[in-house]
């Protein structure tokens, strides 16, 4: 189903994914440990957006899949 990301989503949902990913990129992490870095960044997104960790992780993952699908030409931005 990842190839559907971005096709079915509404513009406000996409905007929320983009906001979550922007927070994710600017979040402090652990630059020496890749797994711990992602975990800390997702925790930061959850705190900033007042979401559960699972919801924050899903928004970041959906944004990443959406961008991959745009690159592949499966969906339009």
pLDDT at 37: 94
Domain that holds residue 67: 33-72
Tens-digit pLDDT profile for the chain (77 aa)?
A: 666 666 788 899 999 999 999 999 999 988 899 999 999 999 999 999 999 999 999 999 999 999 998 888 888 77
Query: Quick check: is 77 in a domain?
Result: no
Query: Quick check: is 23 in a domain?
Result: no
Query: Quick check: is 22 in a domain?
Result: no
Query: Quick check: is 53 in a domain?
Result: yes
Helix residue spans in the chain (DSSP H): 11-26, 34-49, 53-72
Domain tally, the chain: 1
Overall pTM surpassing 0.85 (yes/no) = yes
pLDDT at 14: 92
Query: Quick check: is 11 in a domain?
Result: no
Query: Quick check: is 63 in a domain?
Result: yes
Query: Quick check: is 2 in a domain?
Result: no
């Amino acid at each position: 189903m990842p190839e559907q990301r971005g096709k079915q989503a509404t513009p406000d949902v996409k905007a929320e994914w983009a906001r979550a990913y922007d927070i994710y990129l600017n979040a402090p992490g652990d630059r020496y440990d890749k797994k711990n870095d992602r975990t800390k960044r997702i925790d930061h997104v959850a705190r900033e957006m007042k979401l559960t960790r699972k919801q924050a992780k899903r928004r970041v993952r959906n944004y990443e899949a959406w961008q991959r699908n745009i690159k592949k030409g499966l969906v339009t931005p």
